[in-house]
Chain A
Amino acid sequence: DIQMTQSPSSLSASVGDRVTITCRASQGISNYLAWYQQKPGKVPKLLIYAASTLQSGVPSRFSGSGSGTDFTLTISSLQPEDVATYYCQKYNSAWDLTFGGGTKVEIK
């Protein structure tokens, strides 16, 4: 099975900072990657699909990039409402839609 490794597992940054989260696949998955945001006690929310396509209604400060094995989620200017855990998910195979371990983002 393909493993999805996120880093860091947690980070603390100031409001307005640029934040980057990395997701690495153990094998190539083309661009079949999604990013989700889960606020404390809430349901996950789709942010980005196909590695770089912003889901409708998601603020433009969120962006995604990458292809193959290495992917990044970037928040260009961190806002207080962005405090959440972020998960990547691969979906190149209909039999294995593995999530990464998550990255917890806090405000410094």
Chain B
Amino acid sequence: QVQLVQSGAEVKKPGASVKVSCKASGYTFTSYGISWVRQAPGQGLEWMGWISAYNGNTNYAQKLQGRVTMTTDTSTSTAYMELRSLRSDDTAVYYCARDLSMIVVVITTKGDAFDIWGQGTMVTVSS
């Protein structure tokens, strides 16, 4: 079945970096984009950015520009999200999520809804 499986929980100190993985299965990885969404404890959903698994193009939320990097490894059908210079307010559950629609137009100005989500990865930033 189509699924995204994320790496395990992380505990990091302020100023450190974290890299979360998201392994896809059950579909052609390069045919879809992947977004990353985070949710601080008791809070709502925050979109962090998107990567095309077809060609590696990325769009990042303005708030996180310069601190976040999203990559893919097509040989293992895995997407990665690295967040640097961690602060306490980065403590959250981090989700990867697949675009609803296959990539048809390589360069698009539109986003997409998310139909498949990973199970989430808790990242705790604490001294």
| Chain A contacts to B: CB under 8 angstroms | 1, 32, 34, 36, 38, 43-46, 49-50, 55, 87, 89, 91-102
Contact = CB atoms under 8 A, between A and B. Distances in A.
B113 A87 contact: no
Closest 3 CB pairs of A and B: A91-B111, A34-B113, A49-B113
A94 B59 contact: yes
B95 A43 contact: yes
Interface in B99-119: 100, 108-115, 117-119
B114 to A, nearest CB: 6
Given A49-B100, A101-B44, A93 B110 contact: yes
B35 interface: yes
Nearest to B116: A46
A98 B35 CA distance: 12
Tell me whether chain A's interface is mostly helix, strand or loop, or mixed.
Answer: loop
A91 B97 CA distance: 14
Interface of B: 35, 37, 44-47, 50, 59, 61-62, 95, 97, 100, 108-115, 117-120
Given A50-B113, A89-B113, A99-B44, 15 more contacts: A44-B95, A44-B114, A46-B114, A87-B44, A89-B47, A91-B110, A91-B112, A93-B109, A93-B110, A94-B50, A94-B109, A94-B111, A95-B62, A99-B45, A102-B45
A46 B101 CA distance: 13
Contacts of B114: 34, 36, 44, 46
Contacts of B44: 87, 99-102
7 contacts: A46-B113, A93-B109, A95-B62, A96-B62, A96-B111, A97-B111, A100-B44
A97 to B, nearest CB: 4
B100 A93 contact: no
B115 A46 contact: yes
Given A94-B50, A97-B47, A99-B46, A55 B115 contact: yes
Contacts of B120: 43
